[in-house]
A and B are shown apart, each in its own frame.
Chain A
Amino acid sequence: MTLKSAVALGSFVCLAIYLFVTAPPPLPSQAAAQGESRALPVQNLFEAVNAINHAARSIYTGRVVGGGLKAGLSYGEDWAEPGVEKGPLPALFLRLAAARMEAKPPQLGLYLGSDAPINASNLFTGAQSEAFARVKATEAPVFSTTERGDQVGMYPDFASAGPCVTCHNEHPDSPRKDWVLNEVMGATTWTYPAARLGAGTYLDVTEAFYDAVAEAYQSYLDKAAGFADPVPVGPDWPGEGARVLPDLPTFMAEVRAKAGDPVMRALILTNGTEGGA
Chain B
Amino acid sequence: MDLRRSAMLIALPVMALGAVGIWTESGERWFAHGPIQQGHENVACRDCHQPSPGTPRQQIQAKLQYVLGLRDDPADFGRTEVTSDQCLACHQRPNERHPVYRFREPRFIEALQEVPADTCLGCHSEHEAARVAADTRFCATCHGDLKLANDPVNIPHVTLISNEKWGTCLGCHDFHGNHAYEAPTHVQNLISEPAVQAYFGQGQSPYGPFKLFEAQTQ
A193 sits at the interface (CB 8 A): yes
A43 sits at the interface (CB 8 A): no
Q: Given A105-B84, A109-B105, A120-B145, do A24 and B100 touch, yes or no (CB 8 Å)?
A: no
A18 to B64, CA, bound (A): 13
Residue in B closest to A144 when the chains form the complex, CB atoms: B106
In chain A, positions 11-38 with a C-beta closer than 8 Å to chain B are 18-20, 23-31, 33
A127:B106 contact, CB within 8 angstroms: yes
B73 sits at the interface (CB 8 A): yes
A176 sits at the interface (CB 8 A): no
Of A18, A27, A126, the contact of B53 (CB 8 Å cutoff): A27
A100:B94 contact, CB within 8 angstroms: yes
CB distance from B69 to the nearest CB of A (A): 14
A237 sits at the interface (CB 8 A): no
Of B61, B96, B99, the contact of A27 (CB 8 Å cutoff): B61
Q: How many residues of B contact A (CB 8 A)?
A: 33
In chain B, positions 51-106 with a C-beta closer than 8 Å to chain A are 53-55, 57-62, 64-65, 71-73, 75, 84-85, 88-89, 92-94, 96, 99-102, 104-106
Residue in A closest to B101 when the chains form the complex, CB atoms: A102
CB distance from A25 to the nearest CB of B (A): 7
A150:B104 contact, CB within 8 angstroms: yes
CB distance from A77 to the nearest CB of B (A): 9
A267 sits at the interface (CB 8 A): no
Task: Provide the main secondary structure of the chain B interface.
Answer: helix
B62:A27 contact, CB within 8 angstroms: yes
Of A18, A102, A124, the contact of B57 (CB 8 Å cutoff): A18
A99 sits at the interface (CB 8 A): yes
Mark A74-112 against chain B: 1 for CB-CB distance below 8 A, else 0.
000000000000000000000000111111110111010
B107 sits at the interface (CB 8 A): yes
B155 sits at the interface (CB 8 A): no
A215 to B95, CA, bound (A): 11
Mark B102-122 against chain A: 1 for CB-CB distance below 8 A, else 0.
101111010000000000000
User: Which chain B residues lie closer than 8 Å to A152 at the CB level?
Assistant: 106
B61:A104 contact, CB within 8 angstroms: no
A103:B88 contact, CB within 8 angstroms: yes
Residue in B closest to A15 when the chains form the complex, CB atoms: B60
A271 sits at the interface (CB 8 A): no
In chain A, positions 175-228 with a C-beta closer than 8 Å to chain B are 189, 191, 193, 215, 219
CB distance from A248 to the nearest CB of B (A): 14
Mark B9-22 against chain A: 1 for CB-CB distance below 8 A, else 0.
00000000000000
A66 to B60, CA, bound (A): 61
Q: How many residues of A contact B (CB 8 A)?
A: 43
Q: Given A19-B57, A103-B88, A128-B107, do A27 and B75 touch, yes or no (CB 8 Å)?
A: yes
B92:A29 contact, CB within 8 angstroms: no
A101 to B57, CA, bound (A): 38
User: Which chain A residues lie closer than 8 Å to B105 at the CB level?
Assistant: 109, 111, 189, 191
A103:B100 contact, CB within 8 angstroms: yes
CB distance from B116 to the nearest CB of A (A): 11
A105 to B72, CA, bound (A): 24
B100:A29 contact, CB within 8 angstroms: no
Residue in A closest to B112 when the chains form the complex, CB atoms: A148
User: Which chain B residues lie closer than 8 Å to A219 at the CB level?
Assistant: 94
Q: Given A18-B57, A99-B102, do A105 and B85 touch, yes or no (CB 8 Å)?
A: yes
A133 to B65, CA, bound (A): 45
User: Which chain A residues lie closer than 8 Å to B107 at the CB level?
Assistant: 113, 124-125, 128
Residues of B at under 8 Å CB distance from A?
53-55, 57-62, 64-65, 71-73, 75, 84-85, 88-89, 92-94, 96, 99-102, 104-107, 109, 145
Q: Can you name 17 A-B residue pairings with CB atoms under 8 Å?
A: A18-B57, A19-B57, A23-B61, A26-B61, A27-B54, A27-B75, A98-B102, A99-B96, A100-B94, A104-B92, A105-B92, A107-B104, A109-B105, A120-B145, A121-B145, A126-B106, A150-B104
The 5 closest A-B pairs by CB, nearest first: A102-B99, A103-B99, A27-B62, A27-B54, A102-B102
Residues of A at under 8 Å CB distance from B?
18-20, 23-31, 33, 98-105, 107-109, 111, 113, 120-121, 124-128, 146-148, 150, 152, 189, 191, 193, 215, 219
Beyond A19-B57, A27-B54, 18 additional pairs, beta carbon < 8 A: A20-B61, A24-B61, A26-B58, A26-B62, A27-B58, A27-B75, A33-B53, A102-B102, A103-B92, A103-B101, A104-B92, A105-B88, A109-B101, A109-B104, A124-B107, A150-B106, A193-B104, A215-B94
